[in-house]
Chain A
């Protein structure tokens, strides 16, 4: 098995642990900058290491058998550049929101990002919106793979929306400007006349706590409004299950700080709570207005108030929204699928490196992987007692498959670029359909050459390509939240 050295901000439960510790077929080292960022004892194990304590990168990499570096934030990617140079390993950088903006950034940030685009091997923005920002900064499109964060569907189980006459609105997110809590509170105040029993609960903590409390006073929200401090995850889930409407009023902050796609929004959709949100950042990639929920212009109190009123009035439509929303999550934002996707993106990088290196230590990986893929491929032959060595034919087929896959990615990206020049509207509207059709054709051709693919598999592949095509990505909101300036040592 390959081992990926992940550098993230902290060892703590909100830091997209699954993207580090649960990627299929990839072992991990959970690296943080310094010991002081290890803040959760329950997550401490022998795979937690400290960057500042590494004595010799070369020896370290060899001893831990590391073949890939993954930095979970733009700035962490820069930090790993000298390490990459020293060890000559491929470097992947996740981009989660603020790191694609100039909001409150240190000196030399943009220049350093450009250097990272040049020297880094891959960038995994958490939505297409952020991918576009990177491209605008000069990141080569062929280095970009959108990787959405996923929701654990076993933890966030669907239940049909309540029809019990309550009007409890919930919003979850750090108390910072880009979450738009202040807009939501004003919108809520506007609808209170019509819905005297409605309540608004905001869960989170952050620098704006005081401001939001005084805003609540100013607006005379009284008992209808609650601001709950950060709660343990299971309690947050419970709050979500009991909410009637979930709202994420995200917006671009004055300093340019943006979201990716709020993870809590995905979670609410998974659970079956009707959602109201804004056209901000990657959110339209998750929600189409009046399909999976209601979307309004960001930073617009009136529109948001109207949307809330619409939702509260048309309760009979809730289930239509929530069913579509759950479906969207299952199709494109399922944690299991997204981790599989991550593994496939890794595959693109570690395979060529193995060839180049010709190191005996990497050979076993190769075998493992091919063996694994073979196993998958030959599932159809079921328990035929596949021998250890894959046949040459299989190997070839495997290579062809990989090459095709790569080709598809490249084409998609080129396509994407061309389309960029078109009007934005066009991009959003027309493009999806065309692309989908094109891609399905490609997949078909693909499948034919590979022969005897199971129908089911084909469908799955189509799904995946569609995913890549639509560039649907997931973003773990919480990760972003915590990462981009949480309480401890954020950038």
Chain B
């Protein structure tokens, strides 16, 4: 028999680095470790950090009496051999479901209750960590942070359910089945509602996203390197910055460009936040995924934005597809932190995004028709195929 102990898992630059001389298949990988399938009913989780192995070992030990916990077969300083579930995750199980079945709601509530009784502080689990085995029995994996993180309310579960549009039917049933639990959660959300005027978002350091308080993730729209965006009301959202320098840069751009139709409206600013209009609609990348041809109207609208930015003195002339939101009031472009500071004459990221969607050629052809000068300008020197690639494309 092969020895899984010859597998090494170490922290790499961006993700874990795995060296696997065995034939055991890698079946899952996260921030802390990697999981390999040993047999039809056993797998091994190998940790990059023995501290985390210990944390999970303790949680599994504390919860071995719970029916939804994986059985532990063996353990070492950096691994745990445990039960393997050859079953769909709850997310897969609920695929296409538009009203969460009451049987699942009851089972989830019972799991949360038992976690609480076992004194876990993380009364929560994301859908991908819950497996549905025979007889619709639920199993929960990944307990590394069970005694570390404080989730008195199932924040991840609710957030995941919201993404697949089942949060409302889940909560409606919780309200009926366990009114006390419902009001407990409700109170929690009320107490932890976002006070964006008095909050700090920590810069995650170079290369990392910002760190935000998980208690308010329910209204989190997105987060990136410079900040996190939260929905505040039906029509407003707030961008919170890790560094005031970034906030100031973006404020300057947005406030001086409020007359431009593609710039989001700003309602209020603070040292580390900007309160702005919440843009409703698909982003252009999502939209183009569903299109078989690039319509000329889209090219015209993009061209208008780029030319207007140029005329208005923007330094960074670019419009990444994911930053363009298609709203009822036209295209809007978000994320302007570097618009006035980074010099960039050609929309290279837009080119790259369009190429990914297979629309770059049609885009350039259409630009050539509509605005030959701009086309000539853009293609004077070849468009780089990829940031890290020296291969060039002739257009």
Cβ of A78: which chain B residues have Cβ within 8 Å of it?
98-99, 169
B16 at the interface (CB under 8 A from A): no
Cβ of A115: which chain B residues have Cβ within 8 Å of it?
99
**Residues A41-72 near B (CB distance < 8 A):** 41, 44-46, 48-56, 59-60, 63
Bound CA–CA A62/B121 (angstroms)? 40
Given contacts A106-B97, A106-B98, contact A46 B328 (CB under 8 A): yes
Inter-subunit contact A39/B99 (CB<8 Å): no
Inter-subunit contact A106/B94 (CB<8 Å): yes
Inter-subunit contact B291/A107 (CB<8 Å): no
Q: How far is the CB of B91 from chain A (nearest CB, A)?
A: 12
Q: Per-position contact with A for B125-163: 1 when CB-CB < 8 Å, else 0?
A: 000000000000000000000000000000000000010
Cβ of B96: which chain A residues have Cβ within 8 Å of it?
75, 105-106, 491
Cβ of A135: which chain B residues have Cβ within 8 Å of it?
none
Bound CA–CA A39/B165 (angstroms)? 19
Most buried by A among B99, B290, B297: B99
Inter-subunit contact A79/B165 (CB<8 Å): yes
B171 at the interface (CB under 8 A from A): yes
Closest to A109 in B: B97
**Residues B228-263 near A (CB distance < 8 A):** 231, 233-234
The contact size tier of chain B is: 20 to 34
Cβ of A44: which chain B residues have Cβ within 8 Å of it?
281, 326, 328
Cβ of A107: which chain B residues have Cβ within 8 Å of it?
93-94, 97, 101
Inter-subunit contact A75/B280 (CB<8 Å): no
**Residues B86-116 near A (CB distance < 8 A):** 93-99, 101, 103-104
Q: Per-position contact with A for B33-56: 1 when CB-CB < 8 Å, else 0?
A: 000000000000000000000000
Cβ of A75: which chain B residues have Cβ within 8 Å of it?
96, 98
Cβ of A56: which chain B residues have Cβ within 8 Å of it?
234
Cβ of B172: which chain A residues have Cβ within 8 Å of it?
81-82, 85
Q: How far is the CB of B382 from chain A (nearest CB, A)?
A: 31
Closest to A108 in B: B101
Cβ of A63: which chain B residues have Cβ within 8 Å of it?
234
A488 at the interface (CB under 8 A from B): yes
**Residues B66-93 near A (CB distance < 8 A):** 93
B282 at the interface (CB under 8 A from A): yes
Q: Per-position contact with A for B256-296: 1 when CB-CB < 8 Å, else 0?
A: 00000000000000000000000011110011001100010
Closest to A85 in B: B172
Cβ of A46: which chain B residues have Cβ within 8 Å of it?
328
Inter-subunit contact A55/B233 (CB<8 Å): yes
Closest to A56 in B: B234
Most buried by B among A46, A63, A82, A85: A82
Given contacts A44-B328, A50-B280, contact A39 B290 (CB under 8 A): yes
Q: How far is the CB of A385 from chain B (nearest CB, A)?
A: 41
Cβ of B282: which chain A residues have Cβ within 8 Å of it?
35-36, 38
Q: Per-position contact with B for A351-371: 1 when CB-CB < 8 Å, else 0?
A: 000000000000000000000
Inter-subunit contact A55/B280 (CB<8 Å): no
Besides A44-B328, A106-B96, 13 other A-B contacts (C-beta < 8 A): A36-B286, A39-B287, A39-B290, A39-B291, A50-B281, A52-B162, A78-B99, A79-B98, A81-B172, A82-B168, A82-B171, A108-B99, A112-B99
Q: Which 8 A-B pairs rank lowest in CB-CB distance, beginning with the nearest?
A: A108-B101, A82-B168, A35-B282, A79-B98, A78-B99, A106-B96, A106-B97, A39-B290
- B interface residues, Cβ below 8 angstroms from A: 93-99, 101, 103-104, 162, 165, 168-169, 171-172, 231, 233-234, 280-283, 286-287, 290-291, 295, 297-298, 326, 328
